[in-house]
Chain A
């Protein structure tokens, strides 16, 4: 044994001058999602870093080219597994843009309500996980409880808790259940109450605020150049929301605000999501009021919508129609289309190329997460290593959507 408390000039110890290479991930408790960050550290500061994604790549775009257009729905479900309904609706709308059909009013409101509930579950997860990674476990449990209620409602509506595959070209798989409006209102109210409680719990907490404020600042110009959309772009002060800028479904008739941040730091990204949760509540309220209780959910178009089961089993026309749609697939006109909706993390685009047969030629999903994660390097370079956790949490990377 040798004494360890020798003065520095006598000891052999030398301070390391070379930068240290630190590898975090792909599976790390502080990373929600499989992503690997290789950092070059000088002390605790990140000098350079390399973000590596792709660990969840399942080749969806290749798989889409093997089936029919309707068989793409389960794949888009599994892209963003926190708000799959938004992906479903986005893809259905891309196909409908190609076919030139507009779904009935009742279906439009139904899609909006389910979509906004999915957005709520998305934001609840993101903010809850962000708080948890900073040591606040209670808000996480509360918010996940709220998310679980949303998923219970989804299960009642669609039959599946998480991956619903509920969208269809020209409508939805099933009409709303009888108690839908009542349940949706109750779930939404409960989630908003949770949000208020979480706000009271977190926003007076000095430790929580200090770890978020002025950390990971992204100016508006950078966010635009990085192709950021959604809450992350709005946190930088750019009021771009596809629902406002290019209203689809009935968003043009609904009153809601687009919250924006000031500086684009982690706290702004956190607060934009909190505020959007409340706006989701407003949208759901208005949609529930306006949604008709009766009326068709699917368009009256035998080219795309399956006939009722009674007809399939009792009439030859119904059987043929069913057979043609299921076996040959929908015939989308040849050409290309880019359709965009506001997903949980920003503009969710679908670039579809059809050759006129029943099989997609190319289904390109423009994943908002991919570009946002592409900006992670820019966000954490120059920060300290402990700041990686809130920065990464505030970007809300969804591995399935980023890697597809």
Chain B
């Protein structure tokens, strides 16, 4: 069924398709990274393909290979009921230069999926309108799903934001969530807050 689809893409973009396989019944095309968006657009707009859903987009890290990352996208056609997997290999051995075109202007679902992929692997999606971390916090260092990221790595502590009028800005001040503030006993005594009632 989608075997014909793979052939269709191959005849349309003979130099872009690097290899194809159909392991366990899942048809897969490995593309040259610069043809990523072109082929995706073709799959969405051609009536024989009509891939109206981008089901999933993620990456896999193979640190021993060059290019290192495989960006993997799964497409589904509601009308035809067929699926196709596209892959592109990007990035050098250090994980730098992993860049690929964004699909956000073709499918809205690509927005969060690409943000997650960047967050977890550090694959940059060129042209993404809002490429920031999504599952991790902004101060997080590194990309946790890379194979060279140790699972027990300890992240540096995030300093409190040092901005005036901090109580109006999230994340909030150092006393956030503490009903009496982070005051030491000594401080409160200086303010005259604590009196020893027994003497008086």
Residues of A whose CB lies within 8 Å of any CB of B are: 23, 38, 52-54, 57, 59, 61-63, 65-66, 97-98, 100, 222, 224-227, 238, 240, 245-246, 335-338, 340, 347, 349, 351, 353, 361-362, 364, 366, 370-371, 373-375, 378, 403-404
Contacts and interface: CB of A to CB of B under 8 A. Distances in A.
Contacts of A338: 26, 56, 74, 83, 85
Contact of B60 (A100, A226, A353): A353
Contacts of B58: 351, 364
Interface stretch (B12-20, B105-113, B191-199): B105-113
A38 B170 CA distance: 10
Contact of B144 (A23, A59, A362, A370): A59
A227 B74 contact: no
B170 A23 contact: yes
Contacts of B116: 370
A225 B54 CA distance: 8
B112 A370 contact: yes
B78 A224 contact: yes
Contact of A227 (B54, B60, B147): B54
Interface string B32-68: 0000000000000000000011111010110000000
A11 to B, nearest CB: 25
Given A246-B81, A366-B56, A226 B135 contact: no
Nearest to B147: A65
B55 A347 contact: yes
B72 interface: yes
B166 interface: no
B23 interface: yes
A225 B55 contact: no
A366 B72 CA distance: 12
A340 B137 CA distance: 30
12 contacts: A53-B134, A54-B135, A54-B137, A59-B144, A59-B151, A225-B109, A246-B81, A362-B60, A366-B55, A366-B56, A371-B113, A375-B108
Contacts of A227: 53-55, 107-109, 113
Contact of A97 (B24, B28, B147): B24
B141 to A, nearest CB: 15
B144 A225 contact: no
A200 B66 CA distance: 62
Interface in B76-128: 78, 81, 83, 85, 107-109, 111-113, 116, 120
A226 B108 contact: yes
Contacts of A337: 23-24, 26
A351 B74 contact: yes
Nearest to A334: B23
B135 to A, nearest CB: 4
A366 B112 CA distance: 12
Given A57-B136, A353-B60, A336 B112 contact: no
B5 interface: no
B24 A403 contact: no
A240 to B, nearest CB: 6
B151 A351 contact: no
